[in-house]
Amino acid sequence: MSDRTVIGLEAPYLIFIGDIDSKLYAKTGQSIVDWRPELVKGQLAFGDNKLDLGVPQMSVSDAIATGVKSLIIGVAPVGGKIGDAWIKVLVEAASAGLNIVSGLHFRLTDFPELRDAASMSGATLVDVRVPPKVLPIGNGKKRKGKRLLMVGTDCAVGKKYTALAMTKCLSERGEDATFRATGQTGIMIAGEGIPVDSVIADFVSGAAEQLSPENNENHWDVIEGQGSLFNASYAGVSLSLLHGSQPDGIIVCHDPSRDTVSSCPEANMPTVAECIELNLSCARLTNPQVRCLGVSVNTSAMRKGLREAYLSDLSAELGIPCVDPLVEGCGAIYEQMQVLGLVGGNSCA
Amino acid sequence: MSDRTVIGLEAPYLIFIGDIDSKLYAKTGQSIVDWRPELVKGQLAFGDNKLDLGVPQMSVSDAIATGVKSLIIGVAPVGGKIGDAWIKVLVEAASAGLNIVSGLHFRLTDFPELRDAASMSGATLVDVRVPPKVLPIGNGKKRKGKRLLMVGTDCAVGKKYTALAMTKCLSERGEDATFRATGQTGIMIAGEGIPVDSVIADFVSGAAEQLSPENNENHWDVIEGQGSLFNASYAGVSLSLLHGSQPDGIIVCHDPSRDTVSSCPEANMPTVAECIELNLSCARLTNPQVRCLGVSVNTSAMRKGLREAYLSDLSAELGIPCVDPLVEGCGAIYEQMQVLGLVGGNSCA
């Protein structure tokens, strides 16, 4: 944990999957293994559970022996409640000194036996949905370093995935890039972050400033977005994140199969062009040089043969690369950044 | 208290001023007396304190005898800390069954003797900076009734004052209007409300929806604004309030003596025209019919003779009435609403 006010996790990890045998309920654990294999020593599944995240099966004592520091709950309990069998193993792990990390709705500290075990061993209980207690008010001051923020036409349109893919793309091409997490799964993948939507409203832009601190001139923070300026339930969170992140570039994430906004079924989805325009207009408050560098489209619901035409039409309309990161990766967006002189050794301040 | 999720206060009030003898530190109490004289039975100043809010001086037992239900702390303690003399009287009042209402930074529940007194008598301790625990997520659905929201070029530019003056102006002309409070002093004046900047970010637009619920077609909610879309510290709060309020009209509040944004000294103030444009553009998400009905200017820092020219030039530029409510009142804005058919018996849905 740095001196910034963010949640920090201690690696390496043991991913707890318990009795959950469905990939669907184990998305968090699988994401951590997929994106940060170097952080994960193993998984802990109960005796007869065959779910395999692709890492070694381990007991708590195996994990301790290999140097694991934190047990991460990598699954969501079916029905939302956690049972005695889970608690028993979590208590065993906490007693042995492993930090316990959860992104679930219940709080680890609500279980007295877990609290006692952690306090005896000195282990930490980390609920990644709970933001740091003290956060500063945002000040809008320009910080050194570069920032790329994911924004969206709605919630749940691939902002986390795109940020992770974009970070990987930049790193593979020799750029200095860091993924910055703003939600619970992202925090487990990054090993640090702030769940910005759980912060008291007045402090959200300050949280975003903590999240992407001053850095080297050519370093890129790639920031996971939240919500959408076009989703009336959560747009305030998105605007605070936009102002606090002071992005040099934004990538708009979009799901063309959606007709109405997720939590506001009476609201139509905006066009990608509208989304770019409003985001740039608001982002200029803290970074007048902001540009839209690309569009990330979830094309999974498109009929075969349609996706290429859709992406190339959109790209022609907007004049920027439009990709599905899951299909063709983010290379085209990187090339756009090269053309603009933002990366590739000749980046300008 | 209605079935809406808002803070509710019980009138009539006794305004506590204790040992504070400066008008500057008694602004809250004075505001309540000025705007809602019908709610205030008296003031409680300590023996030799000559500060007079213009209401009868009363002891706790006098207050009980005249039917007072709540003691409201109407002053800010010099130095920020409250002393034993205050606590003694607050405990006396709570023991006698008076609810204690505070908008100060410390929490009433942090004083065990006060907590005990209230729990014995059944009185309530109300910290108006603490929002209701459970608030819904905003849904953006259109509600019946009309809404007028104060927005600003910055924080602290007269949004509360303008909302109160506008509510009075509407009521005096026979319109059905209710002031809706979003900050601590406003809540004491309204007798209810939600301190929206203290709400968890994800729930702010939902709080705004609770604050101005469905109403009669010709009823106006006049909503106190918070922050500014141009203040990078707090713009997220302002946007959530804008979306949740789904205003039919906005009034832009402005202080022309300010060069830079209050909490962001590196940011220049926007022009009033820019402020109108961005607010309308964002507000259309939940109310496509939104209009800017006027501008409220704090002209107190203007040299004599300049103010009339400033206001008439601004009004000519923008094509809407521009007034200083403290000087000429809000009548011109009401007339604009009449011209648009929004009030005066011929209001359209």
B81: left (phi over 0), alpha (psi -120 to 50) or beta: beta
Instruction: Give the N- to C-terminal CA distance of chain B in Å, as an integer.
Output: 29
CA-nearest residue to B234 within chain A is A202
Nearest to A274 by CA among A257, A292, A301: A292
The pLDDT profile of chain B, 349 residues, written as one tens digit per residue, is 346 789 999 999 999 999 999 999 999 999 999 999 999 999 999 999 999 999 999 999 999 999 999 999 999 988 878 889 999 999 999 999 999 999 998 999 999 999 999 999 999 999 999 999 999 999 999 999 999 999 999 999 999 999 999 999 999 999 999 999 999 999 999 999 999 999 999 999 999 999 999 999 999 999 999 999 999 999 999 999 999 999 999 999 999 999 999 999 889 999 999 999 999 999 999 999 999 999 999 999 998 889 999 999 999 999 999 999 999 999 999 999 999 999 986 444 3
Residue A221: φ, ψ to 5° = -90, 125
Chain B positions touching A232 (Cβ under 8 A) are 138-140, 205, 243-244, 285-286
Sheet holding A177-180, edge to edge: A177-180, A220-223, A146-152, A249-254, A291-297, A322-323
- Please tell me the distance in Å from A62's CA to the nearest CA on chain B: 40
Give the CA count within 13 Å in the CB-facing half-sphere of A186: 26
pTM beyond 0.80, yes or no = yes
Q: What is the pLDDT of residues B89-124, one digit of tens each?
A: 999 999 999 999 999 989 999 999 999 999 999 999
The CA distance from A245 to A261, in Å, is: 24
Residue with tokens 């705007």: B35
- Residue A80 carries which DSSP code? S
Give the sign of the dihedral formed by CA B102, CA B107, CA B112, CA B115: positive
CA-nearest residue to A138 within chain B is B233
The pLDDT profile of chain A, 349 residues, written as one tens digit per residue, is 346 789 999 999 999 999 999 999 999 999 999 999 999 999 999 999 999 999 999 999 999 999 999 999 999 988 878 889 999 999 999 999 999 999 998 999 999 999 999 999 999 999 999 999 999 999 999 999 999 999 999 999 999 999 999 999 999 999 999 999 999 999 999 999 999 999 999 999 999 999 999 999 999 999 999 999 999 999 999 999 999 999 999 999 999 999 999 999 889 999 999 999 999 999 999 999 999 999 999 999 998 889 999 999 999 999 999 999 999 999 999 999 999 999 986 444 3
Nearest to B60 by CA among B97, B29, B26, B87: B97
- Please tell me the distance in Å from B61's CA to the nearest CA on chain A: 40
Which of A202, A233, A278 is closest, CB to CB, to B140? A233
Q: Does the distance separating the beta carbons of B201 and A236 come in below 8 Å?
A: yes
The CA distance from A63 to A55, in Å, is: 12
- CA–chain centroid gap for B1, Å, is 18
